[in-house]
Structure 1
């Protein structure tokens, strides 16, 4: 392989990474801990409920559509910390 092409591909792949802030990792962890915390508090367990919640929240955050308008977050600012959305 041509050295310049190889160097270009290495740099392209290297710069394609996305760095997430540490606070985002903490928020992500806390949001996805809600089902586990709920089952611990209520002494019940539901694998189906846990998987449905995780799948729903993860898909909601990764889709490119806003289900909840930004006006709702401006009226109730604390909601943005309890939901995982694409914005």
Structure 2
């Protein structure tokens, strides 16, 4: 099911805002603090409820990579030097 709803983007503080009311709020059951994902294209944007991850990682990428360097990385992660025999003309 899909609907087209006309709305107007208006000034909101120092930015712009789009009020989510009526069908835009009721059909997807948006409530205050509902997490959303916004997909941006050249033509506009689409707002969808965010997919909740089943088991979010307790660490950030930065925390996981802290201290990682060639001497501490697993040997599979270290990129070997290119062999001369791999070059073809």
Give the structure with the higher percent strand: 2
Give the number of the structure whose residues are more often helix, by fraction: 1
Higher relative contact order (CA 8 A, sep 6+): 1
How would you bin the TM-score normalised by the shorter chain? under 0.3
TM-score by length of 1: 0.20
